[in-house]
Amino acid sequence: MQFSRSKPHSASELMTTLNSAQDNMGKGGRRVANFFIANLGETALLSSSEVATRCGVNASSVVRFVQALGFSGYREFQSILQQHLSKSMVDARHSGVGGISLPEISKPLRLYLLADSGRSFNEAAEAAAKNFSAQNPSVEIETESHVSYAVEPEDFAGRIRSAAEKSDGIILVAREHPAVNDAVRAATGRGLPVICLTTDLPLSGRAAYVGSDQYVSGATAAWLCGRMLPRGTTGKVLFVCSVPFRCQQDREQGFRHVLRTEFSSLAIDERVSSNESIEVIYEAVRRYMGKNGPPAAIYNVSGANLGVGRALEAEGLSHSIVFIGHELNTNSRSLLERGIMDVTIGHDFDREIALSVECIRMARQGVQPVNRITQSQVFTRFNCAIF
């Protein structure tokens, strides 16, 4: 196991290596990498055994991990972090601002995960945040989620303003709306980092976006859809969307482009709105079937995959129509295992929460974080159980 051709010689090189090598790591390795990413300064003061306890692995696993980075052992690895910590403290004393200080390390970072999405998405995001906090006591993440169909954008904007009053940074999942953008601008205007998770708000002045390239995710879905149908199939694709999330708009653009250029015999028939509600999408898909008959495929860019699955079962079409969606959760895993859903395109929530925390730490130190684009993951019934 070797993650790097050459040993990192600085904290910045180490961070680059940790981020770029994660696709080659196992689950335990990613857990250790994410811990280092989110707790760079604190790790300078921790033993390998303490890191192992926090990550839920053996101390020997931590040592092997740093050796795979090119270090002779944990002590050499830690010396890089201690140099970084020492320099940051000196810089802070000279400038009076920024840098990492011992009081900052000892004081928990109070973050707020605020999500406006489907119920299953919210549950997965909250679980990842709570898991991160459990492994990283120096970071406290309070969570609050709202189901999209049950909250108005203006009300959600008020929740953003409230979260900004009681946190050191916000991890945000939100739809595009002027009131939401204004609330984010108000938070960032007072120096509070706001990180957009999974769906971006590029006009809001947020500090950074963390998540998949959603255009690529939609293009991937179209490619899989076209290749899963018999070559030359002529038919319609039912497109299921939700409220105005930027991620869904980007997925739709990618899907339409690939369908138009690579599979011109297929066409999107119409857009059916789910509003992130299982019941709403169930009724909408059944109405569509009653009026138009079964489509060749269904592509759901939103949540509420369970509503689509139940509609297909009710129509006796649960194994007859190509069905592609997004997010791996309890509902989509069940649909995949039962053969109702063919593919879901997901992402690594645990890694994205860790990257979001890293971005907030950087912003609080006066460093502008860059967007962190993570790898999309394609799940079928054959590999959905391992995540």
In tens, the pLDDT along 16-73 reads 888 888 878 888 888 898 888 888 777 887 888 888 888 888 888 999 998 999 899 9
Could you tell me the pLDDT band of residue 365, with boundaries at 50, 70 and 90?
Answer: confident
Are 305 and 274 in contact by the 8 Å Cβ rule? The answer is: no
Domain 104-211+348-375 in CATH 3.40.50.2300: yes
How large is the average pLDDT for residues 366-374? 90
CATH fold of 214-346: Rossmann fold (3.40.50)
Q: What is the pLDDT, as a whole number, of residue 236?
A: 93
* C-alpha radius of gyration, the chain, whole number: 22
How large is the average pLDDT for residues 200-208? 96
Tell whether pTM > 0.85.
Answer: no
How large is the average pLDDT for residues 350-376? 90
Residue 185 has pLDDT above 80, yes or no: yes
**Interacting residues of 96 by C-beta distance below 8 A, sequence separation 6+:** none
* Residue for token pair 């299953």: 120
Domain ranges of the chain: 11-100, 104-211+348-375, 214-346
Q: How far apart are CA 207 and CA 370, in angstroms?
A: 8
Between 92 and 158, residue with greater pLDDT: 158
Could you tell me the pLDDT band of residue 254, with boundaries at 50, 70 and 90?
Answer: very high
Lowest mean pLDDT among 158-172, 210-224, 280-294: 280-294
Check if 104-211+348-375 and 214-346 are the same fold. Answer: yes
Residue 343 has pLDDT above 50, yes or no: yes
Residue 106 has pLDDT above 70, yes or no: no
* Residue closest to 266 by CA, chosen among 229, 304, 294: 229
Q: What is the pLDDT, as a whole number, of residue 100?
A: 46
Between 223 and 362, residue with greater pLDDT: 223
Are β-strands 235-241 and 377-379 bridged in parallel, bridged antiparallel, or unpaired? unpaired
Q: How far apart are CA 132 and CA 34, in angstroms?
A: 9
The architecture in CATH of the region 11-100 reads Orthogonal Bundle (1.10)
Lowest mean pLDDT among 5-9, 202-206, 374-378: 5-9
Q: What is the pLDDT, as a whole number, of residue 107?
A: 64
- If DSSP states are collapsed to H, E and C, what string results for the chain? CCCCCCCCCCHHHHHHHHHHCHHHCCHHHHHHHHHHHHCHHHHCCCCHHHHHHHHCCCHHHHHHHHHHCCCCCHHHHHHHHHHHHHHHHHHHHHHCCCCCCHHHHHCCEEEEEEEEECHHHHHHHHHHHHHHHHHCCCEEEEEEEEEHHHCCHHHHHHHHHHHHHCCCEEEEECCCCHHHHHHHHHHHHCCCCEEEECCCCCCCCCCEEEEECHHHHHHHHHHHHHHHCCCCCCEEEEEEECCCCHHHHHHHHHHHHHHHHHCCCEEEEEEEECCCCHHHHHHHHHHHHHHHCCCCEEEECCCCHHHHHHHHHHCCCCCCCEEEEECCCHHHHHHHHCCCCCEEEECCHHHHHHHHHHHHHHHHCCCCCCCEEECCEEECCCCHHHC
Q: How far apart are CA 1 and CA 19, in angstroms?
A: 16
Reading phi first (left if > 0) and then psi (alpha if -120 to 50, else beta), residue 255 is in: alpha
How large is the average pLDDT for residues 74-100? 67
Q: What is the pLDDT, as a whole number, of residue 367?
A: 83
